[in-house]
Chain A
């Protein structure tokens, strides 16, 4: 009897969890963010933030800016390697076509996080607010995690 009862309770808990999860997804999640992380670089210099952004809406959206309470300035950058020479290019707009994915990843697009306002350690949360064009609301706040400098 106890076993049946605990089985029923477990099922209800699972169902409630699933409902809550689906409820949170909702129709507002036109944008999906995956694997948000910030690479901890030694010292006080700029750090890089990486994330995969999926546009599930039927319209093009564009990332036009970002800010963080933990950094003085956040810029959208792309590492460009030409003829064996590496440099960074500032991006005013990063368009994401409907149904497509843009990946901020090492050696490519990244968030350049400048002037850290506090000491950061591996595992610390970093809040970054993204500003999008072509979607309402335009601001999306996302939690990043600090990963070691040697993370791949």
Chain B
């Protein structure tokens, strides 16, 4: 290849590299940016101690919320295990600021005491919440998600369908990110780290 041909090739290659670098430096998240799509956090629920609480409980702290139920053997522990592993890798400052919350959409079975045992197994930073159907519906509708109950079996066990995403809010409780279940721990961690740096 002549020197001229090399030069001719070099320009598009350099441009491509520059474009790739710019793309990597872009403010793109692994999760979905919901900052202009979803409203700020607002709820009234019951916490692990049985006390009625609202969003002011989390004021001043970024919070990551997952909706599920404790009799969920697969996807809930999987997602909460990923979230807690991602949070544990944060530097001490951001790690202590980040609040994790598990909202059970199965209040008939998930009593405050049961939620306390459940969240304790994952992280000290995780708080269990639940509420009446009206309270849970108000919160889930706010974030355009749903939940539902399937027919109980002969023993009275029933399945619950629920959202598979983690919703992340900043310390002003404004919606920031939706972390989908298919993200790796690394991807969740890098999103959380960046969000907490900005905060």
Interface residues of A (CB under 8 A from B): 39, 41-43, 45-48, 77, 79, 81, 84-88, 106-107, 110, 112-115, 149-152
Contacts and interface: CB of A to CB of B under 8 A. Distances in A.
B30 interface: no
Contact of B70 (A43, A79, A113, A150): A43
B73 A113 contact: yes
A110 B157 CA distance: 18
Contacts of A113: 73
B162 interface: yes
Contact of A48 (B77, B118, B150): B77
Interface string B108-132: 0000001001101110000000000
Interface of B: 70-75, 77-78, 81-82, 84-85, 114, 117-118, 120-122, 145-146, 150, 155, 157, 159, 161-165, 180-182, 185
Contact of A86 (B70, B75, B118, B121): B75
B163 A86 contact: yes
Contacts of B81: 149-152
A107 B146 contact: no
Contact of B162 (A46, A77, A86, A110): A86
A84 B145 contact: yes
Nearest to A81: B164
A46 B165 contact: no
Contact of B120 (A42, A112, A114): A42
A66 to B, nearest CB: 14
Nearest to A150: B81
30 contacts: A42-B117, A42-B118, A43-B117, A43-B118, A47-B73, A48-B74, A84-B145, A84-B165, A85-B145, A85-B161, A85-B162, A86-B162, A87-B159, A87-B161, A88-B159, A106-B74, A106-B75, A106-B78, A107-B181, A107-B182, A110-B74, A112-B73, A113-B73, A115-B155, A149-B77, A149-B81, A149-B121, A150-B84, A150-B85, A150-B121
A107 B161 contact: no
A112 B71 CA distance: 11
Nearest to A77: B74
A57 B181 CA distance: 35
Contacts of A88: 74, 159
A10 B115 CA distance: 55
Q: Looking at B73, B77, B114, B146, which has the most chain A CB atoms within 10 Å of its CB?
A: B73
Contacts of B180: 84
B122 A150 contact: yes
A114 B157 contact: yes
Nearest to B160: A87
Contacts of A85: 145-146, 161-164
